[in-house]
Structure 1
Amino acid sequence: MYAGVRALGLAVLAVWGAAAGKSPHTLLTARWDSLWYTRVADFGYGWEVTLPDGSVHSNLAFFPLLPWLERAVSAISPLSYADAGLVVSSVASLCAAGGIFAVADHLYGKKAGVCAVALWAVLPVGIVQSMAYSESLFTALAAWSLYAVMTGRWVTAGLLASLAGLTRPVGAAVVAAVWVTAALAAYRRRRAGERPVVVRRDWRVLLGVLLAPLGAAAYVLWVGHRTGDGLFGYLDVQKQWGNGFDGGYAFATFVAEKFTSVPGALAGIGLILGVAGVIWLYVVGVRQGQPPALLVYCGIVVVLALCASGYFGSKPRLLMPAFPLLLPLAVALARLRTSRSALILGGVAVVGAVYGAFWLHGSGPP
């Protein structure tokens, strides 16, 4: 099902590209962030661009796991780094679908699991899952790490969280989910007056907790050492890109400015409704009793996406790893007849495929 939805998106992109005289392959592998990842794989770190305003865009802003995998796949195959990135992203998207299914199936059953995967596949920004971007890889690592947390596989959870931390800055959300769940488990045991559990199990929990932050910490410290700015080196790199955490002030200003014209006002209303929808889905997830690991992870991903300054057109893409937001909708779809839920998802898949092709043919990065 997941592969079919993504194939539909690629088919629409190919038809649109043929009509527009643009190569779908180029759109998927050689534009925007995918170019930066390819340059890291090809030349390593240290490549940068100085803009007319004097700001410097350094490839140190991009975490290393995807470029490492691109280099590894290219080394054992005839593929270029760009094509290797496409392969990595495609395989990772299937792994992400499996992880999302595992989480939803564990909580709400198989039908809800299939619906959750379908909803993630038909997202309007779902075309990114088929690009040489890091979202699919990160979502795969995050979903399986969260599943490991919920099923008590602490070492696996820690290892996957560490790898997620080598993939994107938001890997901190996976680390926090591991830490909070472990802390809550220890607190509950203590409140219950239980005797210490088996030493082997305690060591597994502790090892998972210690492993979780190693990936992100290693890269951030390495960047700080390379730039000579210590702990704040990576933040300085991101600041040059115009990225930072301002509590949502820049985004709110961006939305407010839309109301200076009638067409802009419609876009502003759409943005407000979209943000309200994200918050509503999170609240429903809380009421639904989602596990703390999912709530912590999803909450941090949402806050970092909505409350960070930077390129505002990328916010839907930055929200894509927040798949727990889709679980309330998946449960609702699972309660319908299969034919009705399939009809709904099929219609949304067509709309998402068309929007994805339109989006990639635009002037700005997704």
Structure 2
Amino acid sequence: MIDLETRPAPVPDRPGPLRRAAPALLGYAAVRVLGLAVLACWSAARGKSALTLLTARWDSVWYSGVAERGYGRVVRLPNGDVHSDLAFFPLLPWLERLGAAVSPLSHGTAGLVVSLLASLAAAWGIFAVAEQLYGGRAAVGAVLLWAVLPVGIVQSMAYSESLFTALAAWSLYAVLTGRWVTAGALASLAGLTRPVGLAVTAAVWAAGIAALAGSRRADPPLSGTRARARCLAGLLLAPLGAAGYVLWVGHRTGRGAFGYLDVQAGWRNGFDGGAAFARFTAALFTSFPSALAGAALTAGVGLLLWLFGICVRRGQPLALLVYSGTVTVLALCASSYFGSKPRLLLPAFPLLLPLAVALAGARVPRAALVVGGAAAVSAVYGAFWLNGSGPP
């Protein structure tokens, strides 16, 4: 007889997104706390303030200045360069102004709080993307690898890298899960954060066009008129942030669409296809001590290209390939500020996914040793870097 009272055993609910990401976020926070602790000790030993290094040096001064006084600051250097704060996109200063308005924090310290919170959001976004593609263990590895990058201390500065990476990662996750309007809206916000927001827009557009065209590279594919309409809406939203700011700068400078390019030229920054960077690297090989730096730099570029090649061969989704490829090209082909290139590459987290998959396949003690060692090196290097030349 059939026992009508017998019920199937309940299937345990899958943990929620935050609970699944919790180990990665805790590990990420531990790496960042280590980096900040080493920075505080190193700075104190040199009679410097770690808080000042994180909030009131280099670009963070420009961001907090925009937040406090609005745009309009211009610095004319003896060599004729003209540095205008119009080079800095507005989303971080807006958030700094909001933070200072609702709290007793200064604009710079509010920027640090924004960056710290955004770095956690970025770590969660990286986890979500990696988990969607490769599973939970690889996702934890991806977050930890991003945390222990040599210039990872920038994630804890009043800079826009963490905010941008958070918006980019969640926009890419929205693409991977077919949430096109969300992807477009986040891409638009990324375009208000940094010039490299172009990479997020390009990723959304590439994936969206492939989906609308019914390409086999489309993942997920579109089904139905409403899905296609949402995809089109996302494509229309994606470029609005960057386009709006660039057009506003053009209007303010009276140079139209070329206004922002003129501002960047004042900083001696532009796109030359990598020619200046190649000359800079070649020049390092003219003497023995600097030749070591040249060899390391060449090896680093080779590693980036090798990782991108692996991503292509393993069939990484189109949106991620376009995003990381564009970030890499824009960073390496900029004509100035060669020392800042590692920082500019920080948002290119999809390049870490092959390494994260390899880390997930390793035994736990070995993986812990690799991550722990890298975290220690990153913490020491970050403290040394900020107490020296720092990120330009």
TM-score of the superposed pair, with normalisation by structure 2: 0.91
Kindly report which structure 2 residues correspond to 1:339-350, keeping only aligned pairs within 5 A, or say none. 339-350=365-376
Q: 1:38-62 deviations in whole A, cap 9, x for unaligned?
A: 0000110111100001221000000
1:231-290: CA deviation from partner (whole Å, max 9, x where unpaired):
010001001101000000000000111111100111111110000001000001111111
- Aligned mates of 1:315, 1:280 — CA distance in 2: 17
Per-residue CA deviation, residues 138-182 of structure 1 (Å, 9 max, x unaligned), is 000000000000100000000000000000000000001011101
1:289 aligns with 315
Partner of 1:326: 352
> What SS does the aligned partner of 2:203 have?
helix
2:98 aligns with: 72
In terms of fraction of residues, the more helix-rich structure is 1
C-alpha distance in 2, partners of 1:160/1:191?
22
Equivalent position of 2:212 in the other structure: 186
Output the CA distance in 1 between the equivalents of 2:289 and 2:163.
37
User: For 2:211 and 2:217, how far apart are their aligned partners in 1?
Assistant: 10
Q: Distance in 1 between matches of 2:290 and 2:177?
A: 47
How big is each residue's C-alpha offset from its partner over 1:215-235, in whole Å with a ceiling of 9 and x where there is no partner?
Answer: 000000000000000001000
Q: Counterpart of 2:213 in 1: which secondary structure?
A: helix
Matched, 1:114 2:140: yes
Letter of the 2:358 counterpart:
A
Please show how residues 258-273 of structure 1 align to structure 2 within 5 Å.
258-273=284-299
Q: Deviations over 1:302-344 (max 9, x none)?
A: 0000011111000000000000010000000000112210111
Shift of the alpha carbon at 1:201?
1.5
What aligned pairs does 1:202-213 form with structure 2 within 5 A after superposition? 202-213=228-239
Distance in 1, Cα, partners of 2:385 & 2:256: 38
The residue identity in structure 1 corresponding to 2:355 is L
SS at 1:169 equivalent: coil
Verify: 1:217 aligned to 2:243, yes or no: yes
Q: 1-side partners of 2:308 and 2:280: how far apart? A: 23
State which of 196, 205, 215 in structure 2 corresponds to 1:170. Answer: 196
TM-score, length basis structure 1: 0.97
For structure 2, the 5+ residue unaligned runs are 1-26
For 2:286 and 2:132, the matched residues in 1 are separated by 48
Q: Partner letter of residue 256 of structure 2? A: G
State the Cα distance separating 1:89 from its structure 2 match: 0.1
Q: Which runs of 4+ in 1 moved over 3 A?
A: 189-192
Give the SS at the match of 1:16.
Answer: helix
Identity of aligned residues (%): 72
Alignment of 1:98-137 (within 5 A): 98-137=124-163
Who is 1:19 aligned against? 45
Deviation for aligned residue 1:363: 2.8
State the alpha-carbon separation in 1 of the partners of residues 131 and 81 from structure 2: 47
The 1-side partners of 2:119 and 2:39 are apart by 18
Deviation at 1:190, TM superposition (A): 10
Q: Who is 2:176 aligned against? A: 150
* Higher Cα Rg, which structure: 2
Structure 1 residue 198 displacement after superposition: 2.6
Specify the code of the residue in structure 2 equivalent to 1:335: G
Q: Indicate whether 1:304 and 2:343 are aligned.
A: no
* Cα separation, 2, equivalents of 1:285 and 1:40: 38
In 2, Cα distance between the equivalents of 1:231 and 1:187?
31
| Range with bigger deviation, 89-98 or 264-273 | 264-273
RMSD of aligned Cα (Å): 1.4
| 5+ long unaligned stretches in structure 1 | none
Measured in 1, the distance between the counterparts of 2:148 and 2:327 equals 20
User: Of 361, 365, 380, which residue of structure 2 is paired with 1:335?
Assistant: 361
Contact 2:343-2:391 at 8 Å conserved across structures: no
Instruction: Return the alpha-carbon distance in structure 2 between the equivalents of residues 337 and 145 of structure 1.
Output: 32
Determine the C-alpha separation between the residues in 2 that align with 1:189 and 1:251. Answer: 37
Structure 1 position 358 matched with structure 2 position 348: no
CA gap 1:3/1:263 in 2 versus in 1, 3 angstroms: same
